[in-house]
Structure 1
Amino acid sequence: MKYIKTQNGVIVTDEKNHLMRLAQGHAYLLQSPPNGAVEIKPADIGKEVAGLRDEISDQLVGLEQAVHILAMGLVSGGNVFLWSLPGAAKSTMARMWAAGISGEFFSLNLGPDTGKNDLFGPPSLSAMKQDQWDRA
């Protein structure tokens, strides 16, 4: 495990996929680090993301701004919507980021007939029986 010191305790996350886990919000705030946990500094995370950003920018010439925007989305835990002409290396760039943080790549081609069920899955009937709204 890895941890980052904060004013309120320590944020603990997975050792192997810490960039992806932090970006997804899959980290825990504890009063003290678990035994054997390794401390990482926020500056080290920034250096890792900047190094990955530079490596991807070197391979995708002319897309430095888009690569930088994806880096900002990663560190902020936000979403990024890529929209451009076909063949503009959007999928390649997203695959490179996913591989760089040990994440998964997901792609969906949107069209005029794309509906909510295509994006989020169909409504869950078992959840509806319990008066809850959820997708399967």
Structure 2
Amino acid sequence: MRIARFFAGSALVLSGLTVAHAAAPVFLNQTIINNIPKADRPQFQAAVADVLEQSAEGQTTTWTSTATRRQPAIAVRLTPIQTTYTDTSRRCRLLEAQVSQGAGKEGWTFWFCQQPSGGWRASSN
């Protein structure tokens, strides 16, 4: 499984989560998650935010995109696997994503930290 700060560079997919945009967009070109239809991205962003805010460690939530004529649906299984707190009492969560589309599969693990505003940001550490 690749360990990545995947959503740090995902301006296209998670811009609604106050996600840091540090990595080059080229990083996402060959990923399944980059294929989420634009119309489905707000629902995906909301699903990620809900998992970060409300799901217990080990609890898996599955989100599925809309299938189109050009591509099958994308299924994303989101599981928070660890919660910790920074020295400034901010909550951080390690989130695992298992992404599949047709026969293709990829796995990602990344940290998000809650911001003073209440939103979540991908950790750059």
Normalising by structure 2, we get a TM-score of 0.27
Q: Which has the higher contact order (CA 8 A, sep 6+)?
A: 2
Larger proportion of strand: 2
- Structure having the higher Rg: 1
Larger proportion of helix: 1
